[in-house]
Structure 1
Amino acid sequence: MRLDAEWDRVTERLRTLADAQEQFQGLLDAALTISRELELPVVLRRIVTTAMDLVGTRYGALGVLNEQRTGLSEFIPVGLTDREVADLAGVGQPQGRGLLGHLIHHPEPLRTDNVPAHPHAAGFPPGHPPVRTLLGVPINVRGEIYGDLYLAERLDGQPFDAHDESVVLALAGAAGVAIDNARLFEQVRAGAEQFQRLLLPHLPDLRPFTASAIYRPATAPGLLGGDWYDAVLLPDHACAAVIGDVVGHDMHAAAAMAQTRNMLRALLYERRTPPSAVLAQLDRTLCAITDNPVTTACLARIEPDGDAWRLRWSTAGHLPPLLITPDIRAEYLHADPGVPLGVDTAQPRPDHTHPLPAGATVILFTDGLVEHPQHSLDAGLNALARIATAHAELPLNELCQTLADQHPGDGHDDMAILALRTPARA
């Protein structure tokens, strides 16, 4: 009997140890899950869903404190059904009163088995689902309370216990680190994006031509891109325009982009035409004095041709220009693309020409605008042509904005768009 009793105790200890190991592994997996995200809104929602999975609850929420730390600036609820969301339509987000306010002003774990009977309860707004059990813990970021994590209604109907509290407290510690990482990432990305935009030019006065350009950074975690554009009026009354993309998504790519653009602008004033000769000299110069990455580019020149205009262009491994005629027809100017810059300076670079009527629009763009892993490149190009023709009568700045907003690409790469419109007479 003593052996049986001892064996039972050993078995129970082993079971307890196994449960603790399983719970520890679950907590570790949960911490890793939220630490993988870098977008702050995604991190905040992932914290709530992870806590709900760990403890097993029906509802969860995260409240972010305002700057004064007197109430909530943001409230992220999770677990509401469509019906419950509809019942709460018209009800604003919680402001941090009642139990929520008590946790704000007393940042320590709060656990109750009867929410309506709690002395600090302030009731629920109309349509709010009934809640009796609540567990709330503060989230600390760099020594300051960032917000509070709330869980309500365990799925098994039991009240929250001390074990639930310790698990959620541990998760809140990991959540604070994840939030801090996401905020740092946002700061770095914002600074990098600002740096990228400073490297890109503000288009000069190109009259009698009309021009507009737009740059959009990638939604993917790549901090910097190599997309660039430029347009200048030349002394022979032609308008030169270029779009390009340096391989890479880092500081080196951004610096190479600025270096390439500045060199090209100088060469345009020196050589002017044809575009193939300018690109060839740019390629030789870059290979001789830089270690810049491979770069694609399309250099176009709109020049007078009697009373109309002529487009002359040369490409270095870049996508073709998109032409929108005055009668709202779209045409890609497919031609020999040539090799990208930085591949082989001995390869010949062909020139191409195409007549342009008054009021024609030429759109140059980078591949981030049309590339999507689930669709072919032709599908992206066709979609872009449809969008462009549907909005071709807009002013150029609105047209570029629309193309960037409705882009067929998946957003994994940054994108640049440069659009030029020919005037009435040459």
Structure 2
Amino acid sequence: MSRTAPTDDGDELLARLGSLTAQARMQAELQRSRVELAIALQRDMLPRDLPVARGFHLAVEYAPACYGLNVGGDWYDAFTMPDGRIGLSVGDVQGHNIEAAAFMGQVRVGLRALASVTSEPGELLALTNDLILSLGGDLFATCTFMRLDPSTGVLESARAGHIPCVWATADGKSGVSEDEGGPPLGVQEGMEYPVTRYRLTTGGVFVLLTDGVVEGPTLNVEAGLDQVVRLAGIAAVAGMGAGSLAAAVIKGAERVGHEDDAAVLVVGHDGLDVQP
């Protein structure tokens, strides 16, 4: 009676396990490379410098989704428009893969390019929405776009399915913006985006952010926004700089318990050279 069969079966099983392990390792390395590429793509497409305007300070914080094998498509942007006002945007692309990161770049570049056609926030979002739909594809994005006039402190805001912003004033008032907003970009043609006007007063701050900062498995969006409202209120009363507030807000994003991107853009007003 042969005694070699069990040994042969064991060797075959070990060989199969070794092959499966090698395949799993190769797949993990491939996916990790895709994530690293997407994160590098994100960082390269985000602005390196922020506009400078007397009387105002801009600050950003960005934390990519680098846990596990996810990568998102959040962005922030700030740039000087042809009319001298400052364009501000934050947004979030549907999905968590390299396609989402690439689509994020298309939306951000589209907003910048179309800002040379119109700087009015509602019209700009409408044009960007139609541009995205003309390109085809299945992805969509939420976005907030604001136009800041440094000469008056007036902020004009339009939202496309995005979470609201947070504001605070030096006299202790703070809250969540209540502009109406419209649907996400890339969902339906011919959409309109209402514009709401705000006034950033001396010592005040405005915080634009993505949902990765305020929403996750351990924190709902209302509680997350309340957390940012408290931070902004303290910062405005204490005269905290825009950079310090942005850092505090992104630190709070660690409490939401998820693996999403998180982006924060803070506008602070110190009152210099602003007309009444």
The answer to whether the superposition gives a TM-score over 0.5 is yes
Matched, 1:311 2:159: no
DSSP 3-state at the match of 2:198:
strand
* Contact map agreement 2:34 2:98 (CA 8 A) in 1: no
* Contact map agreement 1:215 1:417 (CA 8 A) in 2: yes
Matched, 1:264 2:111: yes
Counterpart residue number, 2:196: 352
Distance 2:231 2:24 in 1: 39
Structure 1 residue 186: Cα displacement: 5.5
Q: Select which of 244, 247, 264 maps to 2:91.
A: 244
* Contact map agreement 1:245 1:257 (CA 8 A) in 2: yes
* Contact map agreement 1:256 1:292 (CA 8 A) in 2: no
Matched, 1:385 2:232: no
Distance 1:372 1:248 in 2: 15
Counterpart residue number, 2:4: none
Matched, 1:409 2:266: no
Percent of aligned positions that are identical: 30
DSSP 3-state at the match of 2:178:
coil
* Contact map agreement 1:232 1:240 (CA 8 A) in 2: yes
Structure 1 residue 405: Cα displacement: 1.5
* Contact map agreement 2:219 2:257 (CA 8 A) in 1: no
Structure 1 residue 225: Cα displacement: 1.2
Counterpart residue number, 1:339: 183
* Contact map agreement 1:296 1:316 (CA 8 A) in 2: yes
Matched, 1:286 2:132: yes
Structure 1 residue 184: Cα displacement: 6.9
Number of equivalent positions: 257
Equivalent runs, 1:176-191 vs 2, <5 Å: 189-191=35-37
Distance 2:78 2:26 in 1: 41
User: Is the alpha carbon distance of 1:295 and 1:187 closer, same or farther for their aligned partners in structure 2, counting shifts above 3 Å?
Assistant: closer
* Contact map agreement 1:314 1:351 (CA 8 A) in 2: yes
Structure 1 residue 203: Cα displacement: 2.9
Counterpart residue number, 1:194: 40
Distance 1:402 1:220 in 2: 21
Give unpaired runs (5+ residues) of structure 1. Answer: 1-23, 29-170
DSSP 3-state at the match of 1:226:
coil
Structure 1 residue 317: Cα displacement: 0.5
Matched, 1:362 2:206: yes
- Which amino acid is the alignment partner of residue 261 of structure 2? D
Distance 1:188 1:223 in 2: 10
Distance 2:40 2:197 in 1: 37
DSSP 3-state at the match of 1:272:
coil
Counterpart residue number, 1:299: 145
User: Is the alpha carbon distance of 1:180 and 1:293 closer, same or farther for their aligned partners in structure 2, counting shifts above 3 Å?
Assistant: closer
Distance 2:34 2:133 in 1: 31
DSSP 3-state at the match of 2:175:
strand
Counterpart residue number, 2:73: 226
Counterpart residue number, 1:421: 268
Counterpart residue number, 1:154: none
User: Is the alpha carbon distance of 1:187 and 1:282 closer, same or farther for their aligned partners in structure 2, counting shifts above 3 Å?
Assistant: closer
DSSP 3-state at the match of 1:277:
helix
Structure 1 residue 327: Cα displacement: 2.9
User: Is the alpha carbon distance of 1:327 and 1:344 closer, same or farther for their aligned partners in structure 2, counting shifts above 3 Å?
Assistant: same
What value does the CA root-mean-square deviation take over the aligned residues?
Answer: 3.0
Of structures 1 and 2, the one scoring higher in RCO (CA 8 A, sep 6+) is 2
Matched, 1:330 2:174: yes
DSSP 3-state at the match of 1:421:
strand
* Contact map agreement 2:35 2:98 (CA 8 A) in 1: no
Distance 2:240 2:73 in 1: 28
Say which one has the larger Rg.
1
Structure 1 residue 353: Cα displacement: 0.8
Equivalent runs, 1:86-97 vs 2, <5 Å: none
Structure 1 residue 202: Cα displacement: 1.4
Give unpaired runs (5+ residues) of structure 2. Answer: 1-9
DSSP 3-state at the match of 2:267:
strand
Structure 1 residue 176: Cα displacement: 9.8
Per the normalisation by structure 1, the TM-score is 0.54
DSSP 3-state at the match of 1:285:
helix
User: Is the alpha carbon distance of 1:346 and 1:422 closer, same or farther for their aligned partners in structure 2, counting shifts above 3 Å?
Assistant: same
Distance 1:304 1:205 in 2: 11
DSSP 3-state at the match of 1:323:
strand
